[in-house]
Each structure stands twice: as structure tokens, then as C-alpha cells.
Chains A and B, each alone.
Chain A
Amino acid sequence: MGVVTSTFGGAIARRPWRTFDVQLFVYLALLIAFGIVMGYSASYNDPAPAGALSQPVKTVIWAAIGLTIFFVAASLDYHWLQPFSGPIYLAVLVLLTLTLVLGTNLFGAQMSITVAGLDFQFSEVSKVLMIVVLASFLASRRERIGRLSTIVGAGALMAMPTFLVFRQPDLGTAMVFVAILAAMLFMSGASIGWMAIFTGLVVGAAPLAVGALQDYQRQRLFCFLDPYADAQDACYQLVQSLNAVGSGGIFGQGLTAGRQNQAGLLPVQSTDFIFTVVAEELGLVGSLLLLGLFALLIWRIVFIAWTARDALGSMVAVGLAGMILFQVLVNVGMVVGIMPVTGIPLPFVTYGGSSLISLLFGMGILESVRIHGEKPTF
């Protein structure tokens, strides 16, 4: 790794990166590589227009930007996050509000702002930033952690961003916010009793949220219960996905050789349904390999949470683990028809710069937790 020179108080120069978490880095690098390969296959028959970069090349560029941010975040002592959590929270609210007001229409949802030609989805970034904000809040609660005010305070912090993304409407990200909140509260040691009560309230309010959805969202949401009932319209995507996954078999049809994928029969195959391409082209073997990588990654992040020196680092790790686990569950679950169809990306693998860069920023903080959270060795 070598020594990263920094102007940050000279502290880093005195800390060799021997505690850099290689396992974490290997797992995420493999996941990114997986994503690039699958993105190549998904866009195989869909060449970029002349003069534009192809999808895998763009992913490589984004990965390079993301890895730069990763190393910068790793090199900085993550404690800088604590005093900045207020401004970060404000920035999240401003960016999400801007997205809601200015966002362009993509498949019926206002989800991105175009900056210098690059579509940027602030909702992706805001997920990682909200983990930081919540981690700061929970770390500051100390012995008061078991009180009701912890849950109310954390819920209040999360409420506004959740509402803003729900209004976009980006149901998926709103659900991820709620999942992050639940995971972090649970792992922080918040009162189980109060959490159970609030969980009951949220479940009770779910029909209201479903009622507030657009028709098309509602239809898609409930497709997984009986996809073939409406195979030609609302559940068309899901039916296509199930057929592709099923026809992948044990060993798959081969990279760039998936019939459904290459015939353009899969819905938004580079993004939400990228796992379908994995399952169709690489079969059960490839699917389990990818799930295994996620399992290892999450295991490693939980390990970091357990061993972190302080609550801030531990909470950031817990939030990221919860977020990734939830996204894998919902995204892969959707593809295989055991979860409702919502637009949640598969971390690292789904094509999209904002998701990748945000995740790498989060992973960089985890490395910083490992590097800067260790006891001094001198």
C-alpha cells in the first residue's frame, strides 16, 4: 500500500497501513469486477451510440473515481464525520429536495439530477450519508441509548429524507432508509420493547403507504404473489425474470449467451434485474458465487463493527451491513419472485455511478475504522 502522505495533522504519516483490511477490499473488488463483467454482457447487444462510452467502460471509470474516494476516506480519520454530521444532514435534505424539484423523469420516477451530463442519483448518496448521520447520533447517546428518546430521535432524523424519496416517488430507497434505521437501532442497543411497538406501528401504517402509491407501482408490488395472473402487463417484467432465471439451470447458458438477456426480453437488465442475467448466463453456480461474495462481505463488515474501537465506527459498519443485506434480499428476492418488484439496486453489481461511488465511500470509512480505530502500536 505504501504510505499515503497527507496534511491531516501528520497522523497518517505515522500510521503505516498494516491494519488495512485486505479481506474487505478483496470482496468488494471482486463484486465490482463481477458487476463490470455482467454489465458487459447485459449491454452486449445494446452498443453505445457513436462517440459515447460503452457501459462497462463507464463502470470502470466510475470504479476508478470510487476507489479514489475509497482511499481518501480510508486515509482520513473517520472521526471527522462526527462534527460534520449536522452539515451532512442538511446537505442530504437540500439535495433530496432539489432532486424532487428538478429531477428528470426516468421510468415514471424523478430520481436523478444531471450534473455535467452525468446522471446523479442523490438518493443513492444519501443512504450512505444518513448512515453516517445516524451513527453520529447513536454514538452520542451513550448510556441514554436504551431510552425511548433514542428511537424517537433517530426516527425523526430519518423521517424527512424518507418522505422526500418516497415523494419522488422512489419507494425502494424509502424502504432502504427504514431498513437502515431498524438495523442501526437494533445493533446500537436500543430498547427492544419500544422497537417492537414502533415496528407494529409501521406495519400497521403499511396499507396507508400502499394506498399512496401510483397504480403502476401497486400492481408491480403485488405481482410476486401470482405473477402469471397478469403476465402480459403489470407482471410482465417479473415473469420474464423468472423464466430467465429458471432457464439458466445449474451452469447457465454462458456469458453473453443468455437467450432472454440477449433478446432484450429482460426488463432494465443492467440495473434492477442484473441478477437475472447472472442467473440466466452463469446458472446456479454463478448465482451462488455472487451470493457467497455478498455473504463474505457482510460477514467482514459485521466483524469490523464488532471489533471497532468506538461506537461511531461500529455504527457506521452496522448501518452499511444492514443496508447491503437488505438490498441484496430485496433485489435478489424480487428477481426470484419472493419479494415485491421495487427499484432497489444490487450493491456494487447494478450499473450506476452514484450507487457505486457512494458504496465505495462507505467502504472507505470502514477501512478508516480499521486503520484509525486500532490501538496505537507505539
Chain B
Amino acid sequence: MADLNEGRGRDLPRSRARFIAFGVAAALVFTALAGRLVQLQVVDGAAYARRAATIGTVELPIPAARGLVFDRDGRPLAVNVPSWTVKARRADLPGPRTRIVLGEVARITGVDARSLRTRLDAYTGSPYDLIPLARGIDRQAALVLGERAGQLPGIVVEAEPVRRYLDETGKVDGTLLSHIVGYTGPVDSTELPELAAAGYLHDDAIGRAGVEASYEEELRGSYGSRLVERDADGRTGDVLETVREPVAGANLQLTIDAEMQRTATNALRWGMDAVGVEQGVTIVMNPQTGEILAMVSLPAYDNNKFATGISGSDYQAYLTADGQPLRNHAIADIYPPGSTFKLVTSVAALEEGVTTAGQRWPTYGCYQIPGAPAGQCLFDWNRQGFGPLDMTDAFAVSSDTFYYQMAIKLGVDRLGAWAERMGFGNRSGIRLPGEAEGIVASTAWAQAQGRQGVFTGELAQAGIGQNVIAVTPLQLLNAYCALANGGTLMRPSIVRGTADAGGQLLEPAAPEVIGPIGASDSTLRTMRIGAREVITTGHAYNIRDLRLPGALSGKTGTAEFGAETPEGTLPFHSWFVAYLPSAPGATDADLAVVTFAYSAVVPGNVSLEVVKYFLQEHYDLDQDLRLDPRDFSLVAAN
């Protein structure tokens, strides 16, 4: 027995005070808890009961249908189609076995497992949110995933609308209009905090390029919201009520005529292929309203690839492709305008009193720059010179030495001021992302480069649109539109107004005016006659033989750029810009067109041939006067 009682002798003394203290502490704990219960359940019970009735709900957004995009004849260009998206809810994924689940999803959908994992890990929101892992998976894969839902915890397949971009026939083909319509893409996590304030959701889409981006607000509409039951784990259940109905985004009717866009695309592609050019632009515009009827920038890209999230390799391919297909060369890039810029020099010279319309000036094979050492002269393209010319004739034959004299007499700042009045050096304000400003030389511009001013040689070259002048194709066309409509610089527009679901115009947007260019009617009339003479007596060659419904007027241009080739010549771009009034000199033209071909180093003017082809097709002429621009004997240069 003794062994059992062994420990008792080593007993610790027990402190009565400490036992009482423990008892008091316990009493305090129970009193505090009981008191709080009385407060919650009796005193404030009714208030908590009221809260209890409403707190199990959460307000969730109802996405609005994105507005559709139509062309001016109501052809659908951007539509919403259902698409399948694989999503994951992290709270339901089976912990360490998530890898196996993702592997299975990858096998069924054909999407790389690593990219699924990356999207899952990149999301930092609530574990109960559905995280989109792969969009635009095919129907078959969606069905298989649906059937196997039991074996794939945490994986959900949802039907979501995605954008489809169509061509003029309704075929799924984004390449015709990608630079205009643009595309939408998923919101990414870095920009989400800012966008969330504007009501964007973590799995939302947002316009990334073209009209999709610049008209994002109109197209997106306004999201509604509904009250949904929510359980303690944060899962949502039945919809209780709709708090706010979503308002679908506005449908837009573009100013674009998709058929004309196709005609212009075909003509440009033909010309570019004929001479092996990598970049080209054709824009068609209504000079009276500023509406863009067609705007082609080649090469183009397929915006449908972006609608469901473009793959890294496809995107890389676009970034490194020849001709920069992702850039809209019509507005985003600037090029020397060459002789087409002589319009500006002419208007400035007439308005500033440097010359009168009838005054004749000598022309030269090579023009000696005043103040420069003897023998340092600038060539005319025609190295014999043309003899004395008045303004109209000089414009028609595009005499360089005539315009060197005009530019030097004007000075760079008066020339530059007129260039700006005609829309150069500033964004036109067309509502498309990424428009460039261009370069117009001035004393201030030269000083910003650390020089005292523009050199006389540069000034002379500015007079023929070379060296210190750079424009977007749209700026150039818009300047000729101002000439064609009697002197008003219009703001180029791309959207005609809102449309109904069938694409018919609901609310037309009023044409916007940038301002009058400020030249007198007589000056402009002189230049319109000159532009007509370019076609009839100048060297625009056989385009005069087209049986067009009007008196085509315009200007060719060849713009040297870059570095000399081993043969001692410079590569050059080719331009042709034209408009079609009812009669020579009239201001009623409703169609103007420009074509630009990058580095089109052939004897002929490929842009002229492209416009010729476009006009033949657009006016459905039974003529085909196209010439091979590579044929030197048909030179129609400058």
C-alpha cells in the first residue's frame, strides 16, 4: 500500500488566495458572457433580428449585352456569340490534387496546363470567385467537361458571350476591318483595381483597339445588379430580386461602307502584290461630311484571334511580322507626303501674296539655293526644267524648282502656319486610338532640336513635302477634302450614330467641323483647277480616260526617305490623292480617296494604279486601264 501513497508526502502547498482568485476570474468570465448574451438577445434582439433577415444576401452585377457594330448599310461587323469558358473556383479545388484536375482539363480542352495554372495563380481575389482559365473552348470539350463535373471539383464551364468580327458578307473574318473595329480582350489583374471602380468585373472584357476601345463607354452599356442569397461560406444561391436592370450597350453604325472597304482592300492588295510593297493605305472619305467610307491599312490582322484571348505565339508572330500588321498605318504612322504637299505650299504662296495665280516663275533643272555656295543646287524631278510656269501649270506638272522658290519666299513659319490650318501637325481628332500628330517644320521646331532655325535647303524641301514634313495618310486626305468642299476642314468621323438591333440608324451624329482653313475662294478655286489639270494635262497618265461620273481631280506624290541605296538613289513612297466633283473646280465632291504605298520603288506610281483600280470597281466601269507600275516606259512619277 505504501507505494500507492508515496507521492503524498511531496505535496505542494495550495494557496487559498490563488484558488479564490481563479474562482473570481471564472465568475467574471461567465458574468461577462451572460451579460453580453442578455444585451444581444434581449436588449438589442429586435435590431439583430431585422439585420438577420437581410444580411444573407449579396448584390451581384448583371452584365449588359455589349453593343453591336454595323456598317453604314446595316451589315453586322461585330456581334456577340455564345462561347464556352472554363472557370475554376479555388475554394472547391482539391488542394494538392489541383494539379491533377488541371491536367485533366488541359487534356480535354487542349489548352496548355501551365497556362491554366498561371491564370489560376495570378488571381488574388476571393477563393469563391470563378476565375476564367480558358476562353473560347470548343463545344465538344465543353460537353465532356460538363459530363465529368463530378470528377473535376472546382471546375465550371460557363457559356459567355464573346465578340465575333464579320466581313461584308457576314462571314467570320476580322481582317477586313480589324484596324477600324478593333477588338475586346480580358481585363488584366494589374488594371483591375482602377477599372473595378468603374464597375468592371475581374472576368470582364474591355475594348482594346479600334472602335471597340474608343467607343468602350457607349458599347459597354451599364451593368445592372441583383440581390442574390449568399450562404455563410460565401457561395451564392437563388436570385431574390433585380435591383437594377442592365442597359445594353448602344449599337453603333459606322461610317464605313463594308463593300467599299472590300473594293479598296482588293485594289490595294493588288497594287502591293504587283510591286512587292509591304505596307499600304487606302482611305476613302466624303469631303462634305468628313465621314470615312473605307480605311484600309495593310497588312491587317485577324481581330477574332484577340476576342477569346490571343495566344502568346500568335501575338509574337503579329509583333514581328513584316509591315507591322497591328498598326493602323492610316492614322498611327507618319510619312513624308512628297509632291502631294505642294497643295499647302501653293495655298500659302497665294494667300501670303508671294505670287498671284497668273504670275509665271522660271523653273530650273537644278535650283541654286540663295546664299549657298555656287553649284549647290536642288534638282527638279525633271532635270531639264519646264520653263516659266504659273501656279496651275506648276501644280499640274509638279515642278519641284517652282515650289523651292515659293517655300523660300514664304519662310518656314508662314508655310508651317498654313500647313497647320490645313490639318497637318495636329491630330485630326478621329475617334480611333493611336493617332499620330505628324511633323511640320517651324523655327520653334528647329530650336527644340537645338538649332537656330530651319536651313534654307530644308525649307526648300519642305515646300515639296520632303525632309522636314511628315503626315498621316488621313491628314493628307483630309486636307484635300477641305480643298474639295470649298475650304472647311472637317473632323474625320468613323461612327455615323447609334443604330437599332437591325443596324438601322437611330440617332445620327452631326458632322463636326474643325474649322475653315482660311483661304480665299479664288485661291482654292485656282488649286481645284490645278488638281483637275493634274489629271487632264499633267502626268497622271491614263486615269483621265476613266468614264467617271465627275471631273476627277488630284495629285500624285513620290516621297524619298531613308538612306541612299548603292545605286545612289533613295527609296521612295508613292502617293495618290484624288476627289471627284461633278465638274472641274466644283465644290460638291462626295468622294475623296488617298492611297499610300510604303517604299514602292518602281518606275510607275503604284498608288495611282491602286486608286484607278478602286474607281473602276467602285463605279462598276467596264474599263480596265490598269498599267503595270513596274514598267518604266509608263512613268507617271512625282
List residues of chain A with CB under 8 Å of any chain B CB: 11, 77, 79, 82, 104-105, 138-139, 141-142, 145, 183, 186-189, 231-233, 236-237, 239-240, 242-250, 259-260, 263-269, 279, 283-284, 287-288, 291, 294-295, 298-299, 302, 305-306, 309-312, 314-315, 318, 321-322, 325, 328-329, 332-333, 336-338, 372, 376
* Given A239-B55, A243-B52; A372-B4 close (CB under 8 Å): yes
Asked if B56 CB lies within 8 Å of chain A CBs, one says yes
Complex contact B33–A82 (CB within 8 A): no
Complex contact A242–B48 (CB within 8 A): yes
Q: Cα distance A232–B228 when bound, in Å?
A: 13
Asked if B44 CB lies within 8 Å of chain A CBs, one says yes
Residues in B with CB closer than 8 Å to A337 are 36, 40
Complex contact A249–B45 (CB within 8 A): yes
Q: With A189-B15, A288-B34, A336-B37 given, name 18 new contacts (CB 8 A).
A: A138-B12, A139-B12, A142-B12, A186-B18, A239-B55, A240-B55, A243-B55, A246-B41, A246-B44, A246-B47, A247-B52, A248-B41, A263-B231, A267-B233, A284-B42, A288-B37, A321-B26, A372-B4
Complex contact A266–B7 (CB within 8 A): no
Chain B residues within 8 Å of chain A by Cβ, number: 47
Residues in A with CB closer than 8 Å to B32 are 333, 338
**Interface mask (B220-257 → A, CB under 8 Å = 1, otherwise 0):** 00000000000111100000000000000000000000
Complex contact B49–A183 (CB within 8 A): no
Nearest Cβ on chain A to B40's Cβ, whole angstroms: 5
Contact of A298 among B26, B40, B231 (CB under 8 A): B26
Asked if B22 CB lies within 8 Å of chain A CBs, one says yes
Q: Cα distance A284–B43 when bound, in Å?
A: 11
Residues in B with CB closer than 8 Å to A260 are 52, 56
* Given A233-B126, A246-B49; A332-B33 close (CB under 8 Å): yes
Residues in A with CB closer than 8 Å to B21 are 186
In the complex, which of the residues A315, A322, A329 has the most CB atoms of chain B within 10 Å of its own CB atom?
A329
Q: Chain B's interface: helix, strand, loop or mixed, by majority?
A: helix
Nearest Cβ on chain A to B81's Cβ, whole angstroms: 34
Asked if B412 CB lies within 8 Å of chain A CBs, one says no
Q: Cα distance A138–B11 when bound, in Å?
A: 11
Residue on A nearest B126 in the bound complex, by CB: A233
Nearest Cβ on chain A to B13's Cβ, whole angstroms: 7
Residues in B with CB closer than 8 Å to A231 are 55
Residues in B with CB closer than 8 Å to A245 are 37, 40-41, 48
Q: Cα distance A336–B39 when bound, in Å?
A: 10
Complex contact A376–B1 (CB within 8 A): yes
Residues in B with CB closer than 8 Å to A325 are 25-26, 29
Q: Cα distance A305–B26 when bound, in Å?
A: 15
Complex contact B10–A250 (CB within 8 A): no
Q: Which of B130-155 contact A (CB under 8 A)?
A: none
* Given A247-B48, A250-B42, A336-B36; A232-B232 close (CB under 8 Å): no
Residue on B nearest A273 in the bound complex, by CB: B232
Residue on B nearest A284 in the bound complex, by CB: B41
* Given A104-B95, A291-B33, A325-B29; A246-B40 close (CB under 8 Å): yes
Q: Cα distance A261–B400 when bound, in Å?
A: 90
Asked if B565 CB lies within 8 Å of chain A CBs, one says no
Complex contact B45–A248 (CB within 8 A): yes
Contact of B37 among A189, A233, A287 (CB under 8 A): A287
Residues in A with CB closer than 8 Å to B126 are 233
Q: Cα distance A239–B52 when bound, in Å?
A: 9
Nearest Cβ on chain B to A213's Cβ, whole angstroms: 17
10 contacts between A and B (CB under 8 A): A189-B18, A243-B55, A245-B41, A246-B48, A250-B41, A259-B52, A299-B26, A310-B11, A325-B25, A372-B4
Nearest Cβ on chain A to B51's Cβ, whole angstroms: 5
* Given A246-B52, A311-B11, A325-B26; A336-B5 close (CB under 8 Å): no
Asked if B38 CB lies within 8 Å of chain A CBs, one says yes
Nearest Cβ on chain A to B54's Cβ, whole angstroms: 9
Residues in A with CB closer than 8 Å to B632 are none
Q: Cα distance A267–B40 when bound, in Å?
A: 19
Residues in B with CB closer than 8 Å to A269 are 232
Residues in B with CB closer than 8 Å to A338 are 32-33, 36
Residues in B with CB closer than 8 Å to A139 are 7, 10, 12
